Amino acid sequence: PAKAQQSISIGIIEVWEVPSDQSHPGLVIHTTGWPLDKESFGGGFLYHLNDNKIALGLVVGLDYSNPWLSPFQEMQRLKTHPSIRKYIDRGKRIGYGARAINNGGIASMPDPCLPGGLLIGCNAGTLNASRIKGIHTAIKSGMIAADAIFNALLDNRKNDILTEYQTLLRQSWLWQELENGSNFKPWFKKGRVIGFIMTGIEHWLLPRMGIKKIPWRVKNNRPDNITLQPANKSQKKLYDKPDGKLTFDILSSVYLSNTWHDDDQPVHLKISDQNIPISINLDIYGGPEERYCPAGVYEFLQDSETQNMRLQINSQNCIHCKVCDIKDPKQNITWTTPEGGNGPNYTGM
């Protein structure tokens, strides 16, 4: 089992097609700070791809405390910054998606070995959040898994636990890289200023002092679902209406994800206690489901007969980011696999 709580972020991404004079293949831009407040972890990215395509997005740590914050709306705000807007203001949005990202570091990694199976890549938690990179580490973990499986097959082993995989992981450059970045997210949980200072010490100062291995380990002991403050003690966030050219609403965004669920299938988002969404989530936290979901799945409506508020689940909108399963204050929502493999059909991502 993991030695520390996992830390999750939501990544929201859009794909744009732009005129050739706005396209600069290979150009990479990473941002931090605005539009997020100083208490929230996250940052933006913009990647210039081939064929006049641009992928841009925002990552927001799900340990944010203000229940009025909407990762989707913060993503729309990001595009209004002059440094981002100048690359897309004459373009057309052609894709949209979102997913949860586990970035708690080595201390939050679960045991990657189980009978007959292995956890690799992002499922195992190999993302190096400090470098904003994860493809190379995911590939390496897969290569290490292949070596462990190959050796087991040579020995005619079946359905046992391939502990050799974990041994090989710890002996590889992958583990050393993840160790060097293991404190990145835990430091930022203590605030942006502390996060920047300690990251600078660990990644700039210590190497220049000849210290190759960070002599301390910071762990996260708080799950993301308990960080919300009551709505009446939080500053309410007001977001501008979308203009339909640069900024958009949720439903038009979900349309671009090509998500599909049969209308008559069972709802795959399970509510354990039907009272909690109203008595706790709405009454105390202002109904954060409506804002942390990037697909408009959750909606608080007034019942036409009783006049009481109720939670409506528009499961057909779900783009399978699984944020609701993670951020719900009382862990009252369980994401399950929908019928027939339905869901988003991303293109160009």
What are 259's two structure tokens? Answer: 């998500």
pLDDT, residue 30, reads 95
Q: Residues of 165-185 as b/e, b for ≥16 C-beta within 10 angstroms?
A: bbebbeebebbebbbbbbbbb
Last-in-domain residue among 85, 102, 119: 102
Place of tokens 């990215």: 45
Amino acid in position 119: L
182 and 252 in a single domain? The answer is no
Same domain? 140 vs 194: yes
Q: Is residue 348 in a domain?
A: no
Reading the chain (349 residues) residue by residue, the pLDDT tens digits are 557 888 999 999 999 999 999 999 999 999 998 999 988 999 999 999 999 999 999 999 999 999 999 999 999 999 999 999 999 999 999 999 999 999 888 888 889 998 889 999 988 999 998 888 889 999 999 999 999 999 999 998 877 899 999 999 999 999 999 998 889 988 988 888 899 999 999 999 999 999 988 898 888 888 999 999 999 999 999 999 999 999 999 999 999 999 999 888 899 999 999 999 999 999 999 999 999 999 999 999 998 888 899 999 999 999 999 999 999 999 999 999 998 889 999 988 7
Residues 167 and 205 placed together within one structural domain of the fold: yes
CATH of the domain at 57: 3.30.9.90
In a domain, 276, yes or no: yes
Q: Let me know if residue 15 belongs to a domain.
A: yes
Sort strands 309-313 and 298-302 into parallel, antiparallel or unpaired: antiparallel
Report the pLDDT value the prediction gives residue 2, as an integer from 0 to 100: 58
Say if 291 falls within a structural domain. Answer: yes
Instruction: Give yes or no: residues 14 and 76 share one domain.
Output: yes
DSSP secondary structure letter of residue 111? P
How far is the C-alpha of 63 from the C-alpha of 219, rounded, in Å? 14
Residue ending a domain, choose from 102, 127, 147: 102
Whether residue 220 is found in the same domain as residue 155:
yes
* Helices 173-180/135-154 angle, 10° precision: 140
Query: Containing domain of residue 43, as a range?
Result: 8-102
- Compute the distance between CA of residue 70 and CA of residue 52 in angstroms, rounded to an integer: 29
Q: Can you say how many angstroms the Cα of residue 204 is from the centroid of all Cα atoms in its chain?
A: 27
Please report whether residue 347 resides in a domain: no
Q: What are phi and psi of 170, to 5 degrees?
A: -70, -20
Q: Which pLDDT belongs to residue 1? A: 53
Burial annotation 248-262 (CB, 10 A radius, 16+ → b, else e): bebeebbebbebebe
Residues 6 or more apart whose CB falls under 8 angstroms from that of 306 comprise none
Question: Residue 2: left if φ>0, alpha if ψ -120 to 50, beta else—which one?
Answer: beta
Closest by CA position to 69, among listed 327, 330, 333, 335: 327
Residue 61 φ/ψ, nearest 5 degrees: -65, 135
Q: How many domains does the chain have?
A: 3
